[in-house]
Amino acid sequence: MAPALLIEHRPAAATHRTRIGDWEGDLIVGRQNQSAIAILVDRTSRYLRLVHLPVDRTAESVRDALLTVLAGLPEAARLTLTWDQGAEMAHHQQIAPLLRDGVFFAHPGCPWQRGTNENTNGLLRQYFPKRTDLSQHTAAGLRAVEQRLNNRPRKTLNWRTPADVFHTALAP
């Protein structure tokens, strides 16, 4: 396995939120840690992708699901991914080739290093409460939640929506 790069090696542009395509990711877990949904959120636009994990949250399942979602994004929107140091990212070296600058990891016990992700987790808990079975949610149901949050105006975006900021930045 290739060595993991810590967050301080991430390009400065990712830290400063000056471009689209720098993602933060994590799992939200359900009852007794038996179910999960992976989330990807763009640091600049707050654009959200929910990653369906209907069976389990093994490193293989997370890798395969992330590869599918990332491959569906425009190449210009695939620059970096910053994750915590959970075992679910054991195959990060297989995800990294889809990202221009690679995969980076926050320091253990430092959730503020992925603050956009932490804020988004809070928004998602309105739809996916703790201690519930997250495997009951379908891919279509996840898309519906994505749509709601991506089209919800945000004060931090000057009342623009994440979808508007994301798609405008990627427009030719």
Percentages (nearest 5) of helix, strand, coil residues in the chain: 45, 20, 35
The pLDDT tens digits of the residues spanning 55-93 come to 888 899 999 999 999 999 999 999 999 998 888 888 899
Domain edges within the chain: 5-159
Residue 13 near residue 71, CB atoms below 8 Å: no
Residue 125 has pLDDT above 50, yes or no: yes
Percent of the chain at pLDDT above 70? 98
Per-residue confidence band for 2, with pLDDT thresholds at 50, 70 and 90: very low
d(CA 99, CA 128): 28
**Chain-wide mean pLDDT for the chain?**
92
CATH for the 5-159 domain, from 3.30.420.10, 1.10.600.10, 3.30.70.100, 3.65.10.10: 3.30.420.10
Assess contact for 78 and 98: CB atoms under 8 A: yes
Condensed to tens digits (0 to 9), the pLDDT of residues 27-52 reads 999 887 778 999 999 999 999 999 99
